[in-house]
């Protein structure tokens, strides 16, 4: 069990480090910038989780292997850059989804092990899976994908909730891990493939209605005083995902 979680953790670290390298390359950073973004993306989420849960010092101070893995990933990806680049479109989103699923289940698991309530564990799983990418995007001055894109953290929350419920139902731990992993992963992959997203809310500014009976120009007799400004009406509207995407 512990070994399983450990190897899942390492796999997640590698995948998220790669995402940091790719983003650093897109915003023209030097190799050091790559290292920073890779480190932030891959160990940032777990760091926040450990800080909030009061685990001290955080995991990568206790076990520096994580840092060496990040270093090696960045070094190898600089050497083999042309190959990674080609993998971006087909390979990366899939492994990123794997990383999200892995970190979500690990985060939820660790929080439960420390004896926390279910809702805290779900939030911790989500944080572990999502916070690293969020920090990475803020540093590179992007709106965190997570706050805009297709179902991402929603998959994480549902997966974590499933894990907590399965354990509550006395199911075997390894089986629960597998099921929660599968759920998060398939939700995220489905969202990528069919571009699923939740509807968003937005303020929609409606222009004031054209007066129906506009008299001809010269003979205009205005009933209402001219200073009554027709203000556009602001309404709150639920925008379906399709509309949102088309406008973007």
Q: Which of 175, 172, 153 is nearest to 103 (CA)?
A: 153
Burial of 5 (0-12, 13-18, 19+ CB in 10 A): middle
Q: For a copy of itself, what does the binding mask look like between residues 110 and 149, x meaning CB under 8 A? A: ------xx-xx--x----------x---xxxx-xx-xxx-
- Region near a copy of itself per CB under 8 A, out of 24-32, 171-179, 181-189, 224-232: 24-32
Q: Closest distance between a copy of itself and the C-beta of residue 212, in Å?
A: 26
85 touches a copy of itself (CB under 8 A): yes
Among 8, 14, 25, 38, binds a copy of itself (CB under 8 A): 25
In the chain, which residue ranges form alpha helices assigned H by DSSP?
2-26, 31-53, 59-62, 65-79, 81-87, 92-113, 118-139, 153-168, 173-194, 241-247
Report the C-alpha gap between 33 and 44 in whole angstroms.
15
Single out the residue of 2, 3, 30, 170 in contact with a copy of itself (rule: CB under 8 A). 30
Distance CA(145)–CA(12), nearest Å, equals 18
CB-wise, 145 or 178, nearer to a copy of itself? 145
Whether the Cβ atoms of residue 133 and residue 41 lie closer than 8 Å to each other: yes
- Tell whether residue 183 is a contact of a copy of itself (CB under 8 A): no
**Which stretch in 53-61, 102-110, 159-167, 206-214 sits in contact with a copy of itself by CB under 8 A?**
53-61
Q: Does 166 bind a copy of itself (CB under 8 A)?
A: no
Give CA–CA dist 153/133, Å, rounded: 11
Which residues touch 138 (CB under 8 Å, ≥6 apart)? 144
Binding positions for a copy of itself, 193-212, rule CB under 8 A = 197-203
Least distance from a copy of itself to the Cβ atom of residue 148, Å: 7
Number of residues counted as binding a copy of itself (CB under 8 A) = 62
Position 100 contacts a copy of itself (CB under 8 A)? no
Distance from C-alpha of 108 to C-alpha of 113, rounded to nearest angstrom: 9
Q: Based on CB atoms, which residue is closest to a copy of itself, 24 or 185?
A: 24
> What is the nearest approach in angstroms of a copy of itself to the Cβ of residue 154?
5
In the complex with a copy of itself, which residue's Cβ is closer, 118 or 182? 118
Among 51, 174, 55, smallest CA distance to 109 is for 174
Say if CB 179 and CB 166 are below 8 A apart: yes
User: From CA 88, how far away is CA 75, in angstroms rounded?
Assistant: 17
Residues that bind a copy of itself (CB under 8 A): 24-34, 36-37, 39, 47, 51-54, 56-58, 60-61, 64, 67-68, 71, 78, 81-82, 85, 116-117, 119-120, 123, 134, 138-141, 143-144, 146-148, 152-154, 157, 197-203, 234, 236, 239, 244
């Amino acid at each position: 069990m512990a070994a399983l979680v450990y190897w899942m953790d390492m796999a997640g670290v590698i995948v998220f480090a790669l995402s940091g390298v790719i983003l650093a390359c897109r915003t023209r950073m030097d190799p050091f910038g790559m290292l920073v973004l890779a480190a932030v993306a891959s160990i940032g989420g777990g760091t926040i989780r450990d800080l909030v849960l009061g685990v001290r010092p955080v995991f990568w101070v206790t076990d520096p292997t994580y840092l060496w893995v990040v270093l090696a990933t960045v070094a190898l990806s600089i050497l083999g850059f042309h190959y990674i680049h080609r993998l971006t479109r087909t390979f990366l989103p899939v492994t990123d989804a794997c990383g999200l699923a892995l970190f979500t289940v690990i985060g939820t698991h660790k929080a439960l092990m420390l004896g926390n309530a279910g809702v805290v564990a779900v939030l911790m799983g989500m944080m572990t899976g999502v916070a690293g990418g969020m920090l990475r995007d803020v540093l590179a001055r992007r709106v965190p994908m997570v706050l805009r894109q297709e179902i991402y953290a929603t998959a994480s929350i549902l997966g974590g909730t499933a894990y907590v419920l399965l354990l509550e139902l006395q199911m075997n731990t390894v089986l629960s891990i597998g099921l929660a992993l599968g759920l998060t992963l398939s939700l995220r992959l489905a969202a990528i493939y069919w571009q699923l997203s939740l509807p968003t809310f937005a303020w929609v500014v409606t222009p004031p209605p054209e007066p129906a009976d506009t008299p001809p120009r010269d003979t205009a007799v205005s009933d209402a005083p001219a200073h009554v400004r027709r203000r556009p009406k602001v309404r709150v509207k639920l925008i379906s995902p399709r509309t949102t995407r088309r406008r973007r």
